[in-house]
Amino acid sequence: MSTKILHIDSNNPILWKQLEEANFENEADFKSTKEEIEAKIHNYNGIVIRSRFKIDKTFLDKAVNLQFIARVGAGLESIDCEYAEEKGIHLIAAPEGNRNAVAEHSLGVILSLFNNLNQADAEIKNGQWNRESNRGHELDGKTVGIIGYGNMGKAFAKKLRGFETTVLCYDILDNVGDENAKQVSLSELQEKADVLSLHLPWTPETDKMVNADFIKAFAKPFWIINTSRGKNIVTADLVEAMKTQRILGAGLDVLEYEKLSFETLFQDKNTPEAFQYLLEAKNVLLTPHIAGWTFESHERLAQVIVDKIKALYSVS
């Protein structure tokens, strides 16, 4: 019998094409509700998703023939991973697919913040020629602290090799440091860092991790970059720290207010007060969850997923 795979999000065409060539049976459903998908998921052996909805216990209980869940992205927070693994379902993600894109984006954000590029651009377009107020900082000589030293963190540290920086990393796993970053305790990172870059999943342990107490533990004012998950930062506490210049600038590709699907910003039409501050602040750079969203990563993510599915079934 053929392995039937349900695709519930659109992806790069190579994913569908290569699975088809490997004799997997593809079906697509990009419009049905979660409940409608649940009603037929028993017909499938695999499901390919991005972030359309959460795969919870209810869904998994109905997926009686499911052998794998493949998420075309880096994180698996939209899946009840523990329950899926209890049921013997393989979990597949593709952090290798967009790690380079995230690393390049993170570097670009730091350089933009340090050199006031977005502010200077806006001022010139508004007829202002302000040199002194746009005097920048150099990355050379700074200490960059990376929290989360997996695929994304390691790729970012590698990009920093061209600068005369000290790179420190902190991770819950031991012995992950390498030639590009020295692994240290969280307290040492907070003592030394001029720049903090987050490369974390969203878990109960990382939820709201960057709060007022976390920020106060830093020995000196710092810049912060977040290309991980928005809910890892308490936005109101970030804003308060920016007002007192405990935080010198922020580059946020992700926001606390994002929906799970990452397709829209707010759950409702109300603009939180803290977010309004970010919208108006000159030392804030905001992007719509695009750090890993390049043309190259779009193809690479799909290729990684194909390769892992084929490896699971020992298909060459």
To the query of whether residue 71 is one of the catalytic residues in this protein, the response is no
Block residue for tokens 């216990």: 57
Among 38, 77, 104, 258, the one annotated catalytic: 258
Among 199, 229, 256, 300, the one annotated catalytic: 229
Distance CA 181, CA 144 (A): 9
Three-state DSSP string of the chain:
CCCEEEECCCCCHHHHHHHHHCCCEEEECCCCCHHHHHHHHHHCCEEEECCCCCECHHHHHHCCCCCEEEECCCCCCCECHHHHHHCCCEEECCHHHHHHHHHHHHHHHHHHHHCCHHHHHHHHHCCCCCCHHHCCCCCCCCEEEEECCCHHHHHHHHHHHHCCCEEEEECCCCCCCECCEEECCHHHHHHHCCEEEECCCCCCCCCCCECHHHHHCCCCCEEEEECCCHHHECHHHHHHHHHCCCEEEEEECCCCCCCCCCCCCCCCCCCCHHHHHHHHCCCEEECCCCCCCCHHHHHHHHHHHHHHHHHHCCCC
Nearest residue to 223 (alpha-carbon basis) of 307, 152, 138: 138
To the query of whether residue 289 is one of the catalytic residues in this protein, the response is yes
To the query of whether residue 85 is one of the catalytic residues in this protein, the response is no
Among 289, 296, 298, 300, the one annotated catalytic: 289
b or e along 69-83 (b: 16 or more beta carbons within 10 Å of the residue's beta carbon)?
Answer: bbbbbbbbbbbbeee
By annotation, the residues acting in catalysis are: 229, 258, 289
